[in-house]
Amino acid sequence: MISESLYNEYLAALIEGDKKKCHKLVKDLLDNNISLYDLYVHLFQGSLYHVGHLWEINKISVATEHMATSITESVLTLAYPRIFAADHKGKKAVVSCLVNEYHQIGGKMVADIFEINGWDGYFLGANTPKKELLNMIQEKQPDMLALSLSIYFNMNSLYDVLNDVQKSSPELKVIVGGQAFRWGGRDVGEKFPGVEYVPSIKDLETLLLENE
Ligand code: B12
C-alpha cells in the first residue's frame, strides 16, 4: 500500500516538476516490491486524477498538467523489468486508443497488465486511425482487442470501429474501458454482442485468469 505521506510527497514533486524525486520515490517502491496494481492505480492514476482536478478548478496551468503527464510517462518505464520478466503464454492482445483520443496512459497500463500476465501486449498508443487499427489486427491476429476511451464524445467513433472489427474479425474477443464510460456506453455489449465493458485493470486481471 502507498501511505498518505508518500502519496503527498510524490504529488508535490509531480506538480513541482521534480522528475528526479518522482523517479527516486517510484524506484524505492519497486525495490520494496510494491504491487503493480498499487503503483499504477493508487500512485499514478490517483495523482493524475488529482492533477486533472487541479487543472479543472484553475489551480494549476495546462503546462503544469502536461509536465506532470510527461513525468508519469517516464516513471512508468521503471516498472518494465518486472513487466517483461513474466513467463509468456503465446497469447496476444492489441491495445489501442481511437482516432481523436489523445489520452494514452490508461491504455499503456492496460497493455502492461497483459504483459505481466504473460500475454504479448501490442500498444498502438493515442489517436490511432481506424484503418491502421484494422490493418494491425490482420497483421498480429490477436486473441483479444482492448480499446481505451477517455473522452465521452468519442463514443460514436468507438461504435464505428466496433462495427468494422466485428465484420472483419467476427471471432475476435473485444473489451473496452476507460473514463469515458463514466458518462455512459456501459451497455456496449447490447449494441455489439460479445463486446465486454471491463471497468478496471483489476477486472482485466480476473478476466485474463479466467481465459488461461
Ligand atoms: C493528461 C490528460 C490529458 C493529456 C493526455 C496526454 C497523454 N499522453 O495521455 C492531454 C493534454 C492530451 C489531454 C487533452 C484533453 N483532455 Co484530458 N486529461 C488528462 C488527465 C489530467 C489525466 C489522464 C490520465 O492519464 N489519467 C490516468 C489514467 C491512468 O487513468 P485512466 O485513463 O482512467 O485509465 C485507467 C482506467 O480508466 C482503466 N482503463 C483505461 N482504459 C481502459 C481500457 C480497458 C480495456 C480497461 C480494461 C481499462 C481501462 O485503466 C487505467 C488504470 O487504472 C485527465 C484527468 C483524469 N481524471 O484522468 C484529463 C481528462 C481525461 N481530460 C479531459 C478533457 C476535457 C480533455 C480535453 C477535451 C481538454 C481540451 N479542452 O482540450 C482534451 C481532449 C483531447 C482528446 N481529443 O483526447 C477530461 C475528460 C472529461 C470528459 N467528459 O470526457 C478529464 C477527465 C479532465 C477533467 N477533469 O475534466 N488531457
- In this prediction, residue 89 carries a pLDDT of 87
The answer, yes or no, to whether any atom of ligand 1 lies below 6 A from the CB of 150, is: yes
Residue 188 has pLDDT above 90, yes or no: yes
- Substitution site in 150, 175, 182 for ligand 1 pocket (most atoms within 8 Å of beta carbon): 150
Strand, coil or helix: 144: strand
What distance lies between CA 154 and its chain's CA centroid?
Answer: 16
Contact status, residue 37 vs residue 200, Cβ threshold 8 Å: no
- Note the pLDDT tens digit of each residue in 88-136: 889 999 999 999 999 999 999 999 999 999 999 999 999 999 999 999 9
Q: Which domains does the chain have, with CATH numbers?
A: 4-82 (1.10.1240.10), 87-210 (3.40.50.280)
Q: What CA–CA distances, in Å, run from 116 to 14, 108, 112, 121, 165? A: 26, 12, 6, 9, 26
Percent of the chain with pLDDT over 90: 95
- Note the pLDDT tens digit of each residue in 30-65: 999 999 999 999 999 999 999 999 999 999 999 999
Contact status, residue 179 vs residue 106, Cβ threshold 8 Å: yes
Query: pTM for the complete prediction?
Result: 0.98
DSSP sequence for 91-119 = EEEEEEEBTT----HHHHHHHHHHHHTTE
The answer, yes or no, to whether any atom of ligand 1 lies below 6 A from the CB of 128, is: no
Burial 90-108 (b: 16+ CB within 10 A, else e): ebbbbbbbbbebebbbbbb
The answer, yes or no, to whether any atom of ligand 1 lies below 6 A from the CB of 45, is: yes
- The DSSP bridge partners found for residue 91 are 119
